[in-house]
């Protein structure tokens, strides 16, 4: 349950935040109360921090004003010189010196304050330049990679286009081959039917089966096989025909033929 003290604190904070504007309606429950308490604490902590910064700036402004008065009195006492008596160029120089001290965030305009501030600024400049060079190198590398990627992408697109064209041509060829195959298949089936009808007609007319195409093909294959088998025999016979006749044996046979059988 929401305590009365906490409810009063939240209402006071909301009134302070919205001022003259009406506070928006919201559902009062533990969750919204917790959120509002957290926001109130953050807001109050921020207000305290802002107050501290304001007090610090007021203190620094008072110190700068006191130092300015001291420097003016010192100039007046030493050389009887005031800011109003400076020339236009002198005023510009003095203003530039003050602006430089403000930019460099030095405690005064002395040389002892300017040198460390300038050294720090120079160091920051060198670091920034070094980072810029690194970023420039990385950017150049990324540009090269991007260029190579774009070239590769263009090449892939060209290869894809050529592949699509090749596939289109091959698809057309395949479709044409398919139609030719279907035509040849239908034609072959028609021829098979015609051959079967013709064979039935020839069979009905008493045609000898040995005169059919299949029988003739079988005989042709058998004849070819027999020719292959006779090739070695022919070669062997040719080797015998090339031999010279034996003359003594031939003379004996001639003498035997001349002797009468009764002797």
Question: According to DSSP H, which parts of the chain are helical?
Answer: 4-18, 30-79, 88-104, 111-204, 213-241, 247-258
Which whole number is the average pLDDT over 136-152? 90
Tell me if 254 sits within 8 A of 246, measured CB to CB.
no
Cα–Cα distance for residue pair 233/215, rounded to 1 Å: 27
What lies within 8 Å, CB to CB, of 28 at 6+ separation is 2
Query: Rounded to whole angstroms, how far apart are CA atoms 225 and 207?
Result: 27
CB 1 within 8 A of CB 29: no
Q: Report the alpha-carbon angle 30-32-38, nearest 5.
A: 100
Q: Write the pLDDT tens digit of every residue in 162-197.
A: 999 999 999 999 999 999 999 999 999 998 898 888
Do the beta carbons of residue 3 and residue 29 sit within 8 Å?
no
State the chain's mean pLDDT as an integer.
77
117 with 106: CB under 8 angstroms? yes
- Torsion-angle region of residue 245: left (phi > 0), alpha (psi -120 to 50) or beta? beta
Angle, alpha carbons 50-54-56 (nearest 5°): 115
In the structure, what pLDDT confidence band is assigned to residue 125 with cuts at 50, 70 and 90?
confident
Q: Are 70 and 77 in contact (CB under 8 A)?
A: no
Overall average pLDDT of the 4-29 stretch: 76
pTM beyond cutoff 0.75: no
Residue 116 near residue 123, CB atoms below 8 Å: no
Give me the residue spans of the domains in the chain. 1-80
For residue 94, the model assigns a pLDDT of 66
């Amino acid at each position: 349950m929401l305590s009365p003290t906490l409810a009063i604190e939240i209402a006071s904070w909301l009134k302070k935040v919205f001022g003259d504007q009406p506070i928006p309606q919201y559902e009062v429950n533990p969750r919204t109360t917790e959120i509002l308490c957290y926001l109130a604490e953050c807001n109050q902590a921020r207000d305290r921090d802002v107050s501290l910064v304001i007090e610090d700036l007021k203190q620094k402004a008072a110190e700068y004003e006191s130092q300015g008065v001291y420097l003016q009195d010192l100039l007046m006492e030493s050389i009887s010189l005031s800011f109003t008596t400076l020339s236009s160029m002198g005023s510009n120089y003095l203003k530039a010196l003050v602006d430089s001290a403000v930019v460099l965030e030095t405690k005064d305009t002395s040389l002892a304050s300017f040198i460390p501030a300038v050294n720090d600024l120079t160091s920051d400049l060198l670091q920034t330049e070094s980072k810029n060079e690194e970023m420039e190198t990385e950017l150049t590398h990324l540009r090269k990679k991007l260029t190579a990627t774009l070239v590769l992408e263009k090449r892939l697109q060209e290869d894809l286009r050529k592949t699509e064209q090749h596939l289109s041509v091959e698809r057309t060829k395949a479709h044409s081959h398919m139609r030719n195959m279907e035509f040849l298949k239908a034609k072959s089936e028609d021829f098979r039917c015609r051959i079967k009808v013709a064979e039935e007609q020839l069979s009905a007319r008493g045609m000898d089966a040995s005169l059919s195409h299949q029988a003739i093909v079988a005989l042709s294959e058998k004849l070819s096989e027999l020719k292959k088998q006779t090739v070695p025999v022919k070669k062997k016979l040719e080797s015998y025909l090339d031999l010279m006749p034996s003359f003594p044996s031939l003379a004996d046979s001639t003498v035997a033929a001349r002797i009468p059988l009764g002797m």
